[in-house]
Structure 1
Amino acid sequence: MNEFALIRRYFARDCATPSVLLGVGDDCAILKPAPDEVLLVSTDLLVAGRHFPLNTAPEDIGHKALAVNLSDLAAMGAQPRGVTLGLALPEADPDWLAGFAEGFHRLAAEFGVCLIGGDTVASPQLTLAVTVLGGAQPDRVLRRDAARPGDLIAVTGTLGDAGLGLRTVLSPDSVPAELPLADRDYLRGRLDRPTPRLAEGQVLAGFAHAAIDVSDGLAQDLGHILAASGVGAEIDLAALPLSAAARRWLALDPSVETLPLTAGDDYELLFTLAPEDRDRLDFPATVIGSIRAEPGLVVRNRAGQAVDLARGGFDHFAVGPD
């Protein structure tokens, strides 16, 4: 199968949206942004063995490749307008490609985003490059630099699931023996199939001050907001929202209690808002702390003591994953 047959078979799909005039099949896609929108662009690289375990199912890789980019749009309150896909493949395996395309296109259809172009090459290592384009009204774009002293800090969903799921793959001996198999499967699923919080981001664009998606760990990603806004924060470790599976793991092994602060791949939205706007949240979210004028991040445990975080989050140039 040559490159063009591969594209036609797995990735060329009819696409009809007001913003896409021409998609896959020409030298360039043609988009027509709405007259009252600004264009937002984000690119992510995913490398096998670095961003997802080597034994990850192709459907899950396809889902995650798109989901992590849609999450960036969600963090800025934008709506997706189109996506491009670059694939570097060790081989053109029809079964793998069919599974990958199914996972990718299923999520794209769920959020109404069209694949509008990309490229494929042969490579010794499986690598994906996804670029997503979004639209938003100029006065409704969420940024990292607008947190204010007195703001509440809140987060969607639950934290730490993906980090624990990664441990089930990379460090199976670290999993408590008493942890049910269903919990392990749930946590692995949260690693492989994150949910982009696009609807929540578009709601937050109406009143939240600052936002970011939790990709490299809550503590590290909150640090980006603090640095950009010139403020500090205090977080209550006991307030972090945890899934039932994560709670059972932490109850069996309290030594990993800070993992929900430092593990990446959650792709939940972390945001700040004025206390008086808390009632405007019409989706599940948990307040975990507050913004203060003094610089730095303070994390307190149940006893009110400051917690020392040995590692703040994921670093692509650190020596291997946890």
Structure 2
Amino acid sequence: MPEFDLIARLRARIAARADVPLGIGDDAALLQPPPGEQLAITADTLNAGVHFPHETRAEDLGWKTLAVNLSDLAAMGAQPRWCTLSLSLPHDDAAWVDAFADGFFALADAHDIALVGGDTTRGPLACAVTAIGSLPPGAALRRDGARVGDDVWVTGAPGEAAAALSLWQAGQLDVTCAAADPLHELWRGRLLRPQPRVQAGLRLRGLAHACVDISDGLLADLGHLCERSGVGAQLALAALPAMPRSTGISALQCIGWQLGGGDDYELCFTAAVQHRDAVVQAMDFAGVAVTRIGQIVATPGVVVHDADGNPWQPPQRGYQHFVG
């Protein structure tokens, strides 16, 4: 399929918008931000065999390609506005492109984000998105605002995407079709179709002192937040969200997935102790579960304590690129 035919297939799905004076079809797009707002810009690349299994269905890949970027905007408290999409495709396949677009635009439409440009090339399968959001000056959720004494919170159910990935790697889960075990199917959905916590991020404006998305693992990304803020954190194993287990899966495995698995795209944030009720109410309005898991302290580093108060060392602390 020629490049311009591919572009035409994507362009046919895009409606005209007042905030996109000039979209796909020129050398660059022209965008109209809301008056007085700042722009938040993020970019991510997903490579086959590194960030997703080669056999991942095109529709699921389309969804996830956009979701990982929307998660970054959510962590900043930004309202998603526009995005670009670049694809490296190993061969021409109109049906694959249409299925990818189905997943991509399903999520884009849900968050009212417009595709305004991109690029295509032939090569190993890879997908790259640049997403742009907006927010009022001074409203951004950043990594560098955590304060000693803050509560540490996490949204959703960390570890479920990592559980699915582990089952797939063990040959116990097929990512291309529904799993017979309802719990495994839930985990498969978390891996392939993560739900970016956009509404949670918007509700946390003016409430959270610091925020980060935990795509590389709860401990790793909380560690980044603490480093940027010049603080540390103490977490309690007993405070982690309850994670259901299926036969053959140990509690230790679940804890490892929760703390170091990654690929969750949940938000970890800090807020003042006196705002506990406000945090719960805000997340309730956002339709997102939230759990208080620890506290910010002055001593650098992230320490996890077991039920007896002893430091606990997880089997892994998170995903790192370029580490063999």
TM superposition score category, shorter chain reference: over 0.9
One-letter amino acid of the structure 2 residue matched with residue 79 of structure 1: Q
Deviation string, structure 1 residues 288-315 (Cα, Å, up to 9, x no partner)? 0000111111101122221112421001
Question: Does the CA contact (< 8 Å) of 2:143 and 2:210 recur in 1?
Answer: yes
One-letter amino acid of the structure 2 residue matched with residue 46 of structure 1: L
- Secondary structure of the 1:54 match is coil
Question: Does the CA contact (< 8 Å) of 2:141 and 2:210 recur in 1?
Answer: yes
Deviation string, structure 1 residues 79-109 (Cα, Å, up to 9, x no partner)? 1110000000001212211110000011000
1:68 matches 2:68: yes
Pairwise CA distance, 1:19: 2.4
Alpha carbons of 1:252 and 1:49: their partners in 2 closer, same or farther (altered >3 Å)? closer
Question: Does the CA contact (< 8 Å) of 1:160 and 1:261 recur in 2?
Answer: yes
User: For residue 272 of structure 1, what is the aligned residue in structure 2?
Assistant: 270
2: CA distance, partners of 1:48 / 1:98? 18
State the TM-score, normalizing by the size of structure 2: 0.92
1:261 matches 2:266: no
2: CA distance, partners of 1:201 / 1:127? 28
User: For residue 170 of structure 1, what is the aligned residue in structure 2?
Assistant: 169
Deviation string, structure 1 residues 153-211 (Cα, Å, up to 9, x no partner)? 0011111000001012112369xxxx971111111110000001111101101211000
Superposition pairs of residues 76-91 of structure 1, within 5 angstroms: 76-91=76-91
1:313 matches 2:318: yes
Pairwise CA distance, 1:254: 2.6
- Secondary structure of the 2:61 match is helix
- Secondary structure of the 2:208 match is coil
Superposition pairs of residues 271-310 of structure 1, within 5 angstroms: 271-281=269-279, 282-283=282-283, 284-310=289-315
Pairwise CA distance, 1:228: 0.2
2: CA distance, partners of 1:250 / 1:269? 29
Tell me the matched-pair count: 312
One-letter amino acid of the structure 1 residue matched with residue 291 of structure 2: T
Superposition pairs of residues 1-322 of structure 1, within 5 angstroms: 1-123=1-123, 125-172=124-171, 181-242=181-242, 246-249=243-246, 252-256=249-253, 257-281=255-279, 282-283=282-283, 284-319=289-324
Question: Does the CA contact (< 8 Å) of 1:233 and 1:296 recur in 2?
Answer: yes
Structure 1: segments with no counterpart, 5+ residues: none
Pairwise CA distance, 1:11: 4.1
2: CA distance, partners of 1:237 / 1:261? 9
Question: Does the CA contact (< 8 Å) of 2:14 and 2:115 recur in 1?
Answer: no
Question: Does the CA contact (< 8 Å) of 2:160 and 2:257 recur in 1?
Answer: no
Deviation string, structure 1 residues 120-141 (Cα, Å, up to 9, x no partner)? 1011x10111000110111110
2: CA distance, partners of 1:60 / 1:10? 17
* Runs of 4+ with deviation above 2 angstroms: 10-19, 249-252
Deviation string, structure 1 residues 37-94 (Cα, Å, up to 9, x no partner)? 1111100000011101111111100000000000000000001110000000001212
One-letter amino acid of the structure 2 residue matched with residue 33 of structure 1: P
- Secondary structure of the 2:21 match is strand
Alpha carbons of 1:100 and 1:173: their partners in 2 closer, same or farther (altered >3 Å)? closer
2: CA distance, partners of 1:211 / 1:102? 31
Structure 2: segments with no counterpart, 5+ residues: 174-178, 284-288
Query: Does 278-287 or 207-216 show the bigger shift?
Result: 278-287
Question: Does the CA contact (< 8 Å) of 1:15 and 1:23 recur in 2?
Answer: no
2: CA distance, partners of 1:73 / 1:169? 29
Pairwise CA distance, 1:35: 2.4
Alpha carbons of 1:180 and 1:97: their partners in 2 closer, same or farther (altered >3 Å)? closer
Same amino acid, percent of matched pairs: 47
- Secondary structure of the 2:211 match is strand
One-letter amino acid of the structure 2 residue matched with residue 254 of structure 1: A
Pairwise CA distance, 1:30: 0.5
Pairwise CA distance, 1:12: 4.0
- Secondary structure of the 2:24 match is coil
- Secondary structure of the 1:105 match is helix
TM-align CA RMSD: 1.8
